[in-house]
Structure 1
Amino acid sequence: MSVTRDMLATYRGPQKVIARFLDAGPREDRALAFLMAGCGLVFVAQWPRLARQAHQSGEALNPLLGGSLMAWVFIAPLAFYFLAFLSLLPFRLLRREVTGYAARLALFWALLASAPILLLHGMIAGFIGPGPGEKAVGLIWLLVFGWFWIAGLVQAGRNAT
């Protein structure tokens, strides 16, 4: 299946998609590609908000974009690897043999699959500005991201047994 079809299928049933990925065997290249694509989309989602900020404050846009690039494409992937490691700890306490790869895949896929909502959030932040619409879409993204991540971790726990 293509990535976009997998993303759409994730909104219908995230555990099925993660199960299919895990059944294909450990593929670190796939997990890293999901992470980098997700971080790249989050970076792109920041552009309208940063352009609005630069316009309103009179700042130059390029330094703002450069800082966002540094944060999302170089630093955030390291933070996501650490967060995936931390997500293994509850499974270790419960003595479930979830692999590090499965935890990384669940987190990285949750980021990539929920990225379209972040793109909408960025457009609202850039074109409409701060307000209830931006907050609502941000909350929707947070809930969807959490749903995808937890469902992926649950499926990883099922595959471990």
Structure 2
Amino acid sequence: MAATRDIVATYRGPGRVVRRLLGDGLREDRALIYLMIGCLMVFVAQTPRLARQAWQTGEDLGMLMGATLLAWLFIAPLVFYILAGVSQLVLRIFGVKTSAYATRMALFWALLASSPVILLWGLTAGFIGDGLEMTAVGILWVAIFAWFWIGGLTGALRATS
């Protein structure tokens, strides 16, 4: 199934989608591309906010975008790999048996699948600015990301048991 269809299907059942993705076998290349596209989507979501910031403060937009690009396409993937490793250790401490690949896939897929909401956050930040609307969309994104991640981990557990 296409990734866009999988993203839509994730909003109906994140566990089923992750279980199906894990059924394709160990595909570390696919997990990495999901992570990189998810980070790219977060970077794209930042651009309206950065343009607004540059316009309001007079800062150089190129410098702001360059720093954000560095952060989201080079540093954030490393942070997500570390977060996946830590979550794998926490699951092991609590006696949950799942593979490290399944844990990574659940996290990386949650980032990519929640990207439409983070893009909405970026538009809200760029066009409306700081305020209740931006905070509400940010909270919505965090809730959806957590739901997809936990649902994906649950699906991964069912796939491995």
Above 0.5 in TM-score? Answer: yes
User: Larger relative CO (CA 8 A, sep 6+): 1 or 2?
Assistant: 2
Q: Which runs of 5+ in 1 are unaligned?
A: none
Aligned length: 161
Shift of 1:156: 1.5
Match runs of 1:1-161 below 5 Å: 1-161=1-161
Shift of 1:100: 0.7
- Separation in structure 1 between the aligned mates of residue 123 and residue 97 of structure 2, nearest angstrom: 41
- Separation in structure 2 between the aligned mates of residue 143 and residue 56 of structure 1, nearest angstrom: 30
Q: Percent sequence identity over matched residues?
A: 57
AA of the residue aligned to 2:143: L
The two structures have a TM-score, normalised by structure 2, of 0.98
Shift of 1:160: 2.3
- Separation in structure 1 between the aligned mates of residue 159 and residue 2 of structure 2, nearest angstrom: 23
Shift of 1:159: 2.1
Runs of 4+, deviation exceeding 6 Å? none
What is the RMSD computed on CA atoms of the aligned residues?
0.8
CA deviation profile, 1:90-139 (whole Å, cap 9, x unmatched): 32123332111000000000000000100000001001101100000000
Q: Name the SS for the 1:6 alignment partner.
A: helix
AA of the residue aligned to 2:93: L
* Equivalent residues of 1:34, 1:109 under 8 A apart: yes
